[in-house]
């Protein structure tokens, strides 16, 4: 069931989402060669707790970290580890969220580790660009497929692939709510968007083919062909005008 948020619920969403966005900005300062993904996880945990919130990923479905830390060909759900040391030229996707007063925020970014290749930088930029192309269609009365199609078109026009097995989602009292928000689709199709909906829109883009595989840890999802992957996500609010990005 899709929920339309009241004014008071939206205000609580804003608080959770601001903490989430600020946490990502804080983590970014620490991303450099030599740091472990476990250290980044601790940095995120400490920041969120300091704001009076809790990391909503921690123990969600049994996930053992406060962030998903996905490196290079890892698309999503990488488990933070003391053994995973970032090195010059890597890219890392950090997906995370905070919950406070019963409401959730969720966002993701892909960051360079030191100096990266031009190809990796372009993948990160196009992934971010596809999000902003998509949310041009996140308006009251539009169809969800309009947003999904715009993301897919941007990605594929630039020679990349949109992951099909993983999608965005509604968000509010629960981290994952209806509706599912695919990053591919047909314009003019899907549920009708309405003011008061809150959605986590999250393009996941592969440098190569769109196929993915799950590793034996039952969490980490990687590109099937070993190509690089990038991720960009924000929680947005549908309004009567342009959507509001709550996690920036």
Residue listed under structure tokens 């971010």: 128
Say how far residue 28 (Cα) sits from the centre of its chain: 15
Tell me the per-residue pLDDT of 83-131, one tens digit each, with 9 for 90 and over.
Answer: 999 999 999 999 999 999 999 999 999 999 999 999 999 999 999 999 9
Say what the pTM is: 0.97
Mean pLDDT of the chain: 98
- Taking the alpha carbons at both ends of the chain, their separation in whole angstroms is 27
Give 87's contacts (C-beta < 8 A, 6+ positions apart): 33, 34, 113, 114
Residue 184: both structure tokens together: 């591919």
Tell me the per-residue pLDDT of 126-151, one tens digit each, with 9 for 90 and over.
Answer: 999 999 999 999 999 999 999 999 99
Domains present along the chain, CATH in parentheses: 7-245 (3.90.230.10)
CB 91 within 8 A of CB 31: no
């Amino acid at each position: 069931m899709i929920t339309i948020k009241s004014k008071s619920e939206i205000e609580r969403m804003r608080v959770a989402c601001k903490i989430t966005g600020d946490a990502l900005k804080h983590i970014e300062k620490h991303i450099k060669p030599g740091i472990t993904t476990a250290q980044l996880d601790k940095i995120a945990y400490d920041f969120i707790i300091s704001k009076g919130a809790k990391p909503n990923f921690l123990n969600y479905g049994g996930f053992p970290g406060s962030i998903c830390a996905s490196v290079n060909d890892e698309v999503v759900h990488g488990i933070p580890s003391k053994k995973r040391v970032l090195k010059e030229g890597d890219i890392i996707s950090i997906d995370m969220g905070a919950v406070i007063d019963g409401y959730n925020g969720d966002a993701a970014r892909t960051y360079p580790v030191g100096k990266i290749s031009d190809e990796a930088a372009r993948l990160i930029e196009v992934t971010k660009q596809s999000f902003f192309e998509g949310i041009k269609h996140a308006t009251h009365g539009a169809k969800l497929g309009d947003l999904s199609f715009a993301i897919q078109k941007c990605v594929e026009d630039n020679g990349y692939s949109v992951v099909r097995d993983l999608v965005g989602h509604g968000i509010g009292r629960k981290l994952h709510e209806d509706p599912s928000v695919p990053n591919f689709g047909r314009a003019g199709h899907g549920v009708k968007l309405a003011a008061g909906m809150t959605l986590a829109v999250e393009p996941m883009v592969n440098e190569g083919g769109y196929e993915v595989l799950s590793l034996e840890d039952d969490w980490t999802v990687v590109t099937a062909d070993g190509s690089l992957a990038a991720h960009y996500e924000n929680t947005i609010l549908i309004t009567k005008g342009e959507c509001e990005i709550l996690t920036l």
